[in-house]
Amino acid sequence: MITLEQKNFEEIEKMTKGYNRLLVLGCETCAAMSFAGGQRQVAELASAIRVARKTSGEQGEVLEEAIARQCEPEFVDLIKDDVAGCDAVLSLACGAGVQLLAERFPDKVILPGCNTLFLGVTEELGVWSERCAGCGNCILDKTAGLCPIARCAKQLLNGPCGGSMNGKCEISKDVDCVWQLIIDRLDRLNRLEMLEEIFPVKDWSPAGHGGPRKMIREDLKL
């Protein structure tokens, strides 16, 4: 899933100031699972904005709505009337959702209520961590199922570097050195010889370095 977190309240308050009718719009997939933009967090944030406005004497109405995914035009279009009736939309989706809203509602102010963080896994309730960088060229078959692009601070393909100490990365003692993990796992799998294959220089174009990416499936498109 894509993990995201709500921006801090001060920032939200500042960016929403002056929009009399504000629609807080939730996104009930990744954002909900990140406890940043499901119905519960929409209600909490909308209520918080109302209380803050009341305290500061600011007028206006704060509305609440949520759709299944803000990254799908059909869902977005279902709320066009709600959007039309407000001065600004505070989207609690990832950056993709915010931008699709902006695209579908060209005349409306769309504001991001969340910061999009990473593609990751749930370690346990309330704890998520990054696992994938979306580089467009998966090499997990060669690295024992552990990704050095997403999990090595230097994105080294032939690690570890000299900064690896006692299994930890030099950037923080709380961060595992993924190359240490790769070696340990290959050892456990009895596949250490795989390390003898040297990765060539990585082609970063599928990772977006060749410009914004787009995927088209001729067999599927309408």
Partner 1 sequence: MYDNNPVNAMEHPPCRVACPILTDVREYVQLIAERTFKEAYASIRKLNPLPRVCGRICTHPCETACKRGQVDEPIAIAALKRFASDGPWKGRYEADVPDKSTGHKVAVVGSGPAGLAAAHDLAILGHRITIFEALPVLGGMLRMGVPAYRLPKDVVDEEIQAILDLGVEVKTGVRIGEEINFTDLSEQGYKAVFVAIGAHKDQKLGIAGENEFEGVVSAVSFLRAVNQGQNPKTGKKVAVIGGGNTAVDSARCLLRMGAETVHIVYRRSGDEMPAAKEEIEEAVHEGVQIAYLTSPLEILGQNGKVSALKLMKNELGEPDASGRRSPKPVPGSEFTLDVDMVIAAIGQAPDSSFVADKLELTERKKRIIVKGPYTLVTTQPGVFAGGDAVTGPATVVEAISAGKRAAISIDLYLRGEPLPTIEPAEEVKREKLSPALVEKTRNFARCGKISLPAEDRLKGFDEVDAVLSEDLATKEALRCLHCFLGARIDKEKCISCLTCVRVCPLGIPTTNKMGEITIDPFACQACGMCVLECPVWAIDISLNFRSKIALEIEQVISRSQQAEPMIVGFFDLHGNFRSTDVKSLRQDYPNILPVMVFGLRRIDTCDILKAFESGADGVVLAGCPPDTDPFPETADRVKRRIAHARTLLDALGIDGARLEVCDMPEKGIVDKELIDGLIQRIKEPVQASSE
CB atoms within 10 A of CB 73: 11
Question: How many angstroms separate the most distant Cα atoms in the chain?
Answer: 69
CA proximity to 68, closest of 34, 108, 37: 37
- Residue 207: φ, ψ to 5°: -85, 0
Minimum CB separation from partner 1 for residue 69, in Å? 10
Q: How far is the CB of 153 from partner 1 (least distance, A)?
A: 30
Nearer to partner 1, 51 or 194 (CB): 51
Which tokens in the block code for residue 92?
């609690």
39/115 with CB nearer partner 1: 39
Residues linked to residue 23 through DSSP beta bridges, in sequence order: 63, 89
> Which residues form the interface with partner 1 (CB under 8 A)?
8-10, 28-29, 32-33, 35, 38-41, 43-44, 47-48, 50-52, 54-56, 66, 122, 124-125
As given in the structure block, the two tokens for residue 60 are 């206006």
**Beta carbon nearer to partner 1, 57 or 162:** 57
Nearer to partner 1, 61 or 187 (CB): 61
SS3 132: strand
Q: Which residues contact 2 (CB under 8 A, 6 or more apart)?
A: 30, 34, 94, 96, 116, 117, 118, 119
Shortest Cβ 98–partner 1 spacing (Å): 19
- Judged by CB, which is closer to partner 1: 39, or 155? 39
Least distance in angstroms from the C-beta of 176 to partner 1: 24
Distance CA 35, CA 42 (A): 10
Shortest distance, position 142 Cβ to partner 1, whole Å: 29
Give me the least distance between CB of 141 and partner 1, in Å please: 24
Query: CB–CB of 83/24 below 8 Å?
Result: no
Nearer to partner 1, 94 or 181 (CB): 94
